[in-house]
Chain A
Amino acid sequence: MSATVVGQSSAKPSEPKNYLNADHTLKSWLLSVDHKRIGVMYLIAVTFFFFIGSIAAAMIRYELTSPKGILLSSEVYNKTFSAHGILMVFQFLVVVVPAVLGNFLIPIMIGARDMAYPRLNLLSLYMFITGGFLILASFVLGGVDAGWTFYVPLSTISETQISLCLVGIFITGFSSIFTAVNFIGTIHKMRAPGMTWYRLPLFIWSHYATAIVVILGTPVVAITLFLVVVERGFGFGIFSPELGGDPVLFQHLFWFYSHPAVYIMILPAFGIISEIISCFSRRPIFGYRFVAYSSLSIAFLGFLVWGHHMFLSSQSVLQGIIFSLISFILAVPSAVKVFNWTLTMVKGSVHFSTPMLYALGFMGLFVIGGLTGLYLASVDTDVHLTGTYFIVAHFHYVMVGGTILAYLGGIHFWWPKMFGRTYSEFWGRLSAMIIFIGFNLTFFPQFMVGYLGMPRRYHYYYFAPEWQFYHLLSTAGSTVLGFGFLLPALYLTYSLFKGKKAGPNPWNAKGLEWEYTSSPPITENFTQPILVTDSVYDYNPAEDSKMYEVDEEATVEDMNK
């Protein structure tokens, strides 16, 4: 990127002080308004929730290895998959990329000193943690058995801790609204001079689109879940059919948010992939404006397809057909992105470094997930597939294969920037491959067993013991997958202490965060005010030299160990 530093030119190279060692007290962390520190605290928090959610997942997979069930009663099983879904969706997937990488990178990428509202940012963090602990408390105090979708009337008659859990989700919801407000204010008003909209990194565009979805969608689910609490707590009956209310209305309102919510999860991931692909292909992103606009059109169109989750509720056929059509249209902008990434690699000089491996894994899995989404979006096939493991496989392909792989790719890409250390490239590539293999082994059999009819949310299938084969494959795969997730946790933590010091731009990448800040960045990011004069993506495959040497050497070294 071409940008110049304005102001006095007595720029010292880069100070040894950075945001990490600026101050060491615990208080300076917990009360920090520095967007980078907040991002790091989010990193710790989401990892914690992910860990707990994974334990629930492991229990589910273990239970399903036998057609008759092994360990858990039906009741406990319900609570287990609910805990898994709730933690993973609300406490992990929805927040993970924006809260960790978004918080850390957005101000740096646009040349600002901090978020627009740093104190609000800190408040979001604490609301997120409070919400998370309320949710955990509800699990400890008796569990929640209505699944992450909380359909009424089950959620209103269930005698488990649903109210407490919903209050937690409500608080987490407002935390993400505040983060979104922060992003909108920041991206609109804090860009450095010369950082016009079409010079913004695509990471910023997709976070902007995400923030729009959050402020338009999250309040709707917040109020809907609130109504369930009111119905449980006071006996108000807004969704109760005995008063003339309509339970399907709950589903409408829930999916009005929760379909867009899947884009809240995937749009930031798209942003990461755009950055990684163009860096490791050494080419500017192909069709920048198409990619940018596709984010926005996904954000808005995403609000018009919620009914595809309700084909088998009592939703009218007319509405079903309309929603089915719009869902098909909505697949187009996602496909645009995938084609653009692919075309970016054409004639590029592709490096298979760790982040790139994750990004490629993302592309493969997301395509499978997206295409199977089309089967589900057409009414007649959905009648057969809904409520089966096919759906489970579909959304794990897009959420785990999509969001989590992109997130891990992003973490590996910006790790040297965040902590100033490089990790072992050998272990990085290995983990990417293990995760890819483990993931497919876990979820591909679920497509098949789902197609055969295995219902989701059941913990036995004694009526069809032949399905055990698929479930065993899946459980074996999930073990591999779990191991794959454990690896980065280990070697990244190790690198914090023992990793080689990273220079400001170890990937030779473009962008303000690489070219104008040190690794790790200083507290207010830049030593000098920034003036941007050209597009971000001025990569040139022909000029590509340094990078190969750097990472090839590193790998060879690791292998010799």
Chain B
Amino acid sequence: MSHSHTKETDGPEVYFQYEDIEQQQETYLVGMWSFLVTEVMFFGALFLIYTLYRWKFHDDFYLVHEQLNWKMGGLNTLILLTSSFTVALAVHFAQKGNTKLQMRCLFATILCAFGFLAVKTFEYGAKIDHHLLPNHHFQYGHVEGEEEHHVESKWDKMLPSVLQVEKKEQHGNPQRARLFFSIYFTMTGLHGLHVIIGIICFTALMILIKIKSSLITDYVPTEMVGLYWHFVDLVWIFLYPLYYLIPK
């Protein structure tokens, strides 16, 4: 009974529970935003933890953060900002009904996302080789009775020289270093997980558009995935200065 009185001939299809397309679009956006509120609180707790420990152990955090490669972090910032830009364009073209350009922008976004993960792989790989992943193998700084450990990492060597940074000695309290890397890996790891989920969403979206699925009635699915992606970008906008550029 529902469809009969709502069906419009010229607009996109409206799902049975809505009265008209306007209501449907707004409802989806409201839902997405309330989900994003959830995401804000999700990462918010981590930012709180970060703030607390950074405030308590600022000096150690400053010394430890020199182990991170700020150039790689910067590169990732660039990549994510670009991907946000391409998503914004994708939504723009989706609203205009220009599917071809929309698909290209989406594709560019996915490329950026993979680029981000590639850079992260180099970073994580090097950290793990240096025993900085805070698991059983964690080792930081000079240990009594042992040679200063100078583990080389193939990941570092593979980097082009512009992206390499000068090696800093491992100063600072090893326990605090371990705390630092625990939070670092948790936050960037969860962020990376969000990037992977983003890739899945974008790929699914592109496939659905390609096969002209009935699930894609208008630009709103693109906008929703876009909102999610902007949020991922937003988190990184804060992560970058907070981890890679800690001032003295």
Which residue of B has the minimal Cβ distance to A253? B45
Q: Given the complex of chains A and B, what is the CA–CA distance between A215 and B38 in angstroms?
A: 5
Q: Which of A120-147 contact B (CB under 8 A)?
A: 120
Contacts of A188 in B (CB 8 A): 27, 30
Q: Which of A348-407 contact B (CB under 8 A)?
A: none
Total residues of chain B contacting the partner, CB 8 A: 45
Contacts A184-B31, A237-B179 given: A116-B17 contact, CB under 8 Å? yes
Contacts A220-B44, A223-B42 given: A249-B134 contact, CB under 8 Å? no
Are the CB atoms of B17 and A118 closer together than 8 Å?
yes
In whole Å, how far is A330's beta carbon from the nearest beta carbon of chain B?
Answer: 20
Contacts A236-B186, A237-B134, A524-B16 given: A189-B176 contact, CB under 8 Å? no
Contacts A117-B31, A188-B30, A224-B45 given: A238-B182 contact, CB under 8 Å? yes
B17, B30, B133, B175: which contacts A114 (Cβ < 8 A)?
Answer: B17
A152 interface hit (Cβ, 8 Å): no
In whole Å, how far is B138's beta carbon from the nearest beta carbon of chain A?
Answer: 8
Are the CB atoms of B31 and A227 closer together than 8 Å?
no
B157 interface hit (Cβ, 8 Å): no
Give the secondary structure class of A's interface. helix
A234 interface hit (Cβ, 8 Å): yes
Contacts of A113 in B (CB 8 A): 2, 16-17
Contacts of A524 in B (CB 8 A): 1-2, 16
Are the CB atoms of B182 and A184 closer together than 8 Å?
no
Q: Given the complex of chains A and B, what is the CA–CA distance between A67 and B52 in angstroms?
A: 45
A199-207, A239-247, A313-321: which lies at the B interface? A239-247
In whole Å, how far is A80's beta carbon from the nearest beta carbon of chain B?
Answer: 31
A112 interface hit (Cβ, 8 Å): yes
Q: Which of A171-221 contact B (CB under 8 A)?
A: 177, 180-182, 184-185, 188-190, 215-220
Q: Given the complex of chains A and B, what is the CA–CA distance between A219 and B31 in angstroms?
A: 16
B37 interface hit (Cβ, 8 Å): yes
Which residue of B has the minimal Cβ distance to A222? B42
A180, A230, A243: which contacts B178 (Cβ < 8 A)?
Answer: A243
A287 interface hit (Cβ, 8 Å): no
Are the CB atoms of B5 and A7 closer together than 8 Å?
yes
A116, A189, A249, A527: which contacts B52 (Cβ < 8 A)?
Answer: A249
In whole Å, how far is A122's beta carbon from the nearest beta carbon of chain B?
Answer: 13
B27, B38, B135, B136: which contacts A219 (Cβ < 8 A)?
Answer: B38
B204 interface hit (Cβ, 8 Å): no
A contact residues, range: 35 or more
Contacts A238-B183, A249-B49 given: A244-B31 contact, CB under 8 Å? no
Are the CB atoms of A236 and B134 closer together than 8 Å?
yes
Are the CB atoms of B186 and A230 closer together than 8 Å?
yes
B41, B43, B44, B176: which contacts A244 (Cβ < 8 A)?
Answer: B176
A235 interface hit (Cβ, 8 Å): yes
A93 interface hit (Cβ, 8 Å): no
A115 interface hit (Cβ, 8 Å): yes
B34 interface hit (Cβ, 8 Å): yes
In whole Å, how far is A257's beta carbon from the nearest beta carbon of chain B?
Answer: 9
Are the CB atoms of A190 and B37 closer together than 8 Å?
no
Contacts of A541 in B (CB 8 A): none
Contacts A227-B186, A238-B186, A244-B179 given: A185-B53 contact, CB under 8 Å? no
Contacts A215-B38, A223-B42, A244-B56 given: A234-B179 contact, CB under 8 Å? no
Which residue of B has the minimal Cβ distance to A211? B34
In whole Å, how far is A435's beta carbon from the nearest beta carbon of chain B?
Answer: 36
Contacts of B31 in A (CB 8 A): 116-117, 120, 181-182, 184-185
Which residue of A has the minimal Cβ distance to B25? A189
Are the CB atoms of B134 and A234 closer together than 8 Å?
yes
Are the CB atoms of B16 and A220 closer together than 8 Å?
no
Q: Which of A75-119 contact B (CB under 8 A)?
A: 107, 112-118
Contacts of B183 in A (CB 8 A): 238
Are the CB atoms of A184 and B41 closer together than 8 Å?
no
Q: Given the complex of chains A and B, what is the CA–CA distance between A238 and B184 in angstroms?
A: 10
Contacts of A246 in B (CB 8 A): 52
Are the CB atoms of B175 and A244 closer together than 8 Å?
yes
B148 interface hit (Cβ, 8 Å): no
A529 interface hit (Cβ, 8 Å): yes
Contacts A116-B27, A181-B34 given: A235-B176 contact, CB under 8 Å? no
Contacts of A182 in B (CB 8 A): 31
Are the CB atoms of A242 and B27 closer together than 8 Å?
no
Contacts of B238 in A (CB 8 A): none
Are the CB atoms of A216 and B175 closer together than 8 Å?
no
Contacts of B190 in A (CB 8 A): 223
Which residue of A has the minimal Cβ distance to B48? A253
B34, B37, B41, B176: which contacts A185 (Cβ < 8 A)?
Answer: B34
Q: Which of B46-86 contact A (CB under 8 A)?
A: 46, 48-49, 52-53, 56-57
Chain B positions 13 through 39: 1 when the CB is less than 8 Å from some CB of chain A, otherwise 0: 000111100010011101100110111
In whole Å, how far is A505's beta carbon from the nearest beta carbon of chain B?
Answer: 22
Are the CB atoms of A216 and B37 closer together than 8 Å?
yes
Are the CB atoms of B1 and A527 closer together than 8 Å?
yes
Are the CB atoms of A177 and B17 closer together than 8 Å?
no
B5, B30, B178: which contacts A237 (Cβ < 8 A)?
Answer: B178
Which residue of B has the minimal Cβ distance to A245? B179
Q: Which of A311-362 contact B (CB under 8 A)?
A: none
Contacts of A185 in B (CB 8 A): 27-28, 30-31, 34
In whole Å, how far is B134's beta carbon from the nearest beta carbon of chain A?
Answer: 5
Contacts of B182 in A (CB 8 A): 230, 236-238, 243, 245
A115, A222, A243: which contacts B17 (Cβ < 8 A)?
Answer: A115
Are the CB atoms of A184 and B17 closer together than 8 Å?
no
Contacts of B48 in A (CB 8 A): 253
In whole Å, how far is B64's beta carbon from the nearest beta carbon of chain A?
Answer: 12
Q: Given the complex of chains A and B, what is the CA–CA distance between A116 and B2 in angstroms?
A: 15
Contacts of B134 in A (CB 8 A): 234-237
Contacts of A120 in B (CB 8 A): 31
Are the CB atoms of B26 and A189 closer together than 8 Å?
yes
Contacts A112-B17, A524-B2 given: A181-B35 contact, CB under 8 Å? yes
Additional A-B contacts beyond A215-B34, A215-B37, A223-B190 (7; CB < 8 A): A116-B31, A181-B35, A181-B38, A189-B30, A215-B38, A223-B43, A244-B56
**What would be 21 A-B contacts, judged by CB atoms less than 8 Å apart?**
A114-B16, A116-B17, A120-B31, A190-B18, A190-B27, A215-B41, A217-B41, A219-B41, A219-B44, A220-B41, A220-B42, A230-B182, A237-B179, A237-B182, A238-B49, A238-B186, A243-B178, A243-B179, A524-B1, A524-B2, A529-B5
